[in-house]
Amino acid sequence: MPKEIVIDQSGFNEDDRRGLRAEVRWSREAEYVQLATVADEAPAASGLGGEGWHVSLDRRGINEMIRYLRRARDQAFGRDE
């Protein structure tokens, strides 16, 4: 099963960038795409250690997510030319 990972750049604070990431997994055979947020080494007080949230997306959901991410990127950082 292929997987791509994006590491969180902010962490819990400026000195503590541990284990936060977004993962995208997919399977051609099972025809699914899954997006997950995962916190492997979160501080114990946060309650997030080794846990995350997963969502499975169909083609329509993926297209919506792409549109929303582009809109958010453009509004936060300006449009790519």
More confident site: 22 or 48: 22
10-20 tens-digit pLDDT: 755 555 555 68
pLDDT-wise least confident of 2-6, 18-22, 46-50, 72-76? 46-50
Q: E strands within the chain?
A: 3-7, 20-27, 32-39, 51-57
Rounded CA gap, 46 and 11, in Å?
Answer: 12
**Average pLDDT of 61-72?**
96
22-31 CB contacts, 8 Å cutoff, 24+ apart: 25/1, 26/1, 26/2, 27/1, 27/2
pLDDT at 48: 46
Average pLDDT, the chain: 81
- Whose structure tokens read 């997994």? 25
